[in-house]
Amino acid sequence: MEWDHVIRNGQIVTPSDMYEANIYIKNGKISAITKDVLQGEAREVTDASGKYILPGLIDTHVHSRDGGSTYKEDFFTSTQAAAAGGITTIFEMPNTFPTVNNVENFEKQVNNLSKKAHVNFGLWGICLGDLNNDDLKSLSEAGVIGFKYFWGYAVNKHTFQLVYNYSEDMKDVIPPCDDGEVFSMFEEVAKTNKTFAIHAENSDLIHRLTKKYAASDKNDYDTFLKSRPSLAEQLTIQTAIAMAKETGAKLHILHVSSAEGVHLIREAQKEGIPITAETCPHYLFLTNEDYEKIGPAMKVYPLVKRKKDQEAIWEGILDGTISFVCSDHAPHTAEEKDGDLWSIPAGMCGVETIAPLMLNAVSENRLTIHQVVSLLSENPAKQFGVFPQKGTIQVGSDADITIVDMNKRYTIDRDKLHSKGKVTAYHGFQIKGMPIQTIVNGKTVMKDGEIISGPTGQLVTS
């Protein structure tokens, strides 16, 4: 037997267990897991002595800007960044150009991204209400990983790109959907049995409050936070829960940022309403108090909020209300982020730093390594219907593996990030616990922080 890759002597970690074994890989799949030494030569051998072997980590929320604003990022660089950070699969958001609103554009995007992918990838489909309700069934059949609705956003009439900060005097813009049209989306996505994920911010409230507080000429973070308060998330989640209860749609709340949001989701889950949630590292490791030190790099939507919100989100992680953690990777250039808080874009790099930050939380005894496997691998794989192909180390599963060294110390340095746009709120953060090898479909893509393979990632469908 000739093995493609053999990984020896590492500690395999599951959500509930840890054990030492050798992993034998053939044709991109895990063929054997055993303490025995099997006969045969291997094209690649990894000695993982003293290291932890995790199921390949998954980032479900990535904006690679390709196609679209590729001067900020493209799929080649974003997937290099993912691999550098120990991520073996990403799910790419649909608000690209062209947007993933029908099967034709889904296929165009697959063709565009496949030749650039250093890691495996799935594609989200977008919901635009009456504009593409009739396309959701065929998009589901084509293999989108789930559907996303940017609640409250307008869209360009010609390109279907999202329009931020909508006002009624804008030309060639389709206004945000009313609740009746949103309800129709819930009904149509429910028929596909796929996840219906929402960006939960009430645009009417934000629009009015922004006018009020922007006119004050204050540029401090706490004033800005008043323009996009927890209430904006709370109102949208309440409406979405009611619609999910009525339609049976598998509702998923993206990037939960508030204590009120966590509470609403927890209570809905207790009622048996089909609702899940995610959060991001910026809500776990930052608060409004960090703005003075970090500055505009930490502007994201929804906004990073207060200590009470951070504490509630951690509680949601620990009690299972929040199923997994993702990056919401959305790079901008340093020049774009250098300006007035009210006008600079929201978003920052995240796909390369999510796993180190979560592993550092293990070193600080805030999480266990088993919980990291749940939050970054098994739970997202189950949520999107790709388990046990992904999200586990077992015979027959894809050979996507992340090897980590929990004794390795590292300082996050924006200049060393692999993304084009290198803005991050975590520059200078001290980390203990790092991914040191990323294996995608059995082949090492990253080793000791260096990308050592070209694009070999494959499309993942559910």
pLDDT tens-place string over residues 343-387: 999 999 999 999 999 999 999 999 999 999 999 999 999 999 999
φ and ψ of 459, to 5 deg = -70, 135
Share of the chain above pLDDT 70, in %: 100
pLDDT at 159: 79
Residue 233: half-sphere exposure toward Cβ, Cα within 13 Å = 26
Average pLDDT, the chain: 96
Bridge pairing between strands 324-325 and 275-279: parallel
pLDDT at 218: 84
pLDDT at 165: 72
Low-confidence ranges of the chain (pLDDT < 70): none
pLDDT at 171: 85
214: tokens are 């922007």
CA 12 – CA 9 distance, rounded (Å): 9
Q: Does the N-terminal peptide bond of residue 15 adopt cis geometry, omega within 30 degrees of 0?
A: no
Helices (H), 367-448: 369-373, 379-383
pTM, to two decimals: 0.97
CA 81 – CA 1 distance, rounded (Å): 34
> What ranges make up the beta strands (E) of 296-423?
324-325, 401-411
Q: Which of 111, 17, 50, 23 is nearest to 394 (CA)?
A: 23
